[in-house]
Amino acid sequence: MKISTLLTICLFWIGCVPKQMPTVLEVVNEILVLTPKENSVILPEKSLPKGWVLNRETLAAWKSSLPEVLGIISDTSAIAEYWDDKVTLPSGIKLHIKRAKITYFYKTRLTSEVVELHFVNIDNIYSITNYESSHFEMNAVVKSVEILDTGFPQLIADDVLKHKVLLKYGTPNDFDGTWHRYRDKDSEFAVRVIDDKHLAVQISSRRIDRQLKQAIQDVYSEEGIELRKQQLMDGFEL
């Protein structure tokens, strides 16, 4: 009597359990699948510099104004140089893009560097009255790096390329036999070995490059010229 009662209770319990409820084995298998292996290594994605970086600190991000950046540089002899970058558009229109740069010298225990901070004035494309230095935005950093005497062992440019570029950022997006080029949505980063003691580095803002192209399109395309004419016509009364 007791055995039959026990069997009835067990059958009733099994019938009451929802069919969709996972078994203990299924739960364990799910946990094992979702849990990473103990020996797996997840490497964080290395982002490219987004401006002027010194001692692993971003001193000035892209689009920083020229006076702002000039105020950061400790080299009091650094001054801004201005020039017009003459460009001929496919339409034949000759455009003068206003650019500037600040050059300063930086020396550490291991390197001697010539650093150029480059700026472009996109606002001037929309209006020639936008010519003050505050309209110049930082869009590139160019470095010439000399490796100093490090004693034994002597560091060479290939050592720097390997440990500070290839092992840090991985396989380059492009390599033309000279320049190792990396890109992300914000920046383009390029490094080349000149000889055992010298490297060249170029970092530029891809966003500002796109904004420059958009400004030229807005003002000098057929649609842009027609819009400008209409704006000028607003001042005419016949």
What is the reported pLDDT for 145? 97
Which pLDDT belongs to residue 76?
A: 76
Decide if pLDDT at 238 tops 80.
no
- Residue 31: inside a domain: no
In the prediction, which pLDDT does 87 show? 93
Residue 16 lies in a domain: no
At residue 190 the predicted structure's pLDDT band, cuts being 50, 70 and 90, is: very high
From residue 91, give the alpha-carbon distance in Å to each of 95, 114, 211, 220, 222: 11, 38, 20, 9, 9
Query: Is 1 contained in some domain?
Result: no
In this structure, is residue 10 part of a structural domain?
no
Residue 194: inside a domain: yes
Tell me the residue range of the domain where 175 lies: 51-233
Retrieve residue 230's tokens: 């209409």
Q: What are the CA-CA distances from residue 45 to residues 81, 84, 168, 170 (Å)?
A: 37, 38, 9, 10
Task: State how many domains the chain has.
Answer: 1
Asked if residue 28 belongs to a domain, the reply is no
- What gap in Å lies between CA 36 and CA 38, rounded to an integer? 6
> How does the average pLDDT of the chain come out, rounded?
85
Condensed to tens digits (0 to 9), the pLDDT of residues 61-114 reads 999 999 999 999 887 788 999 999 999 998 899 999 999 999 999 999 999 999
| Residue 227 counted as domain residue | yes
| Residue 32 domain-assigned (yes or no) | no
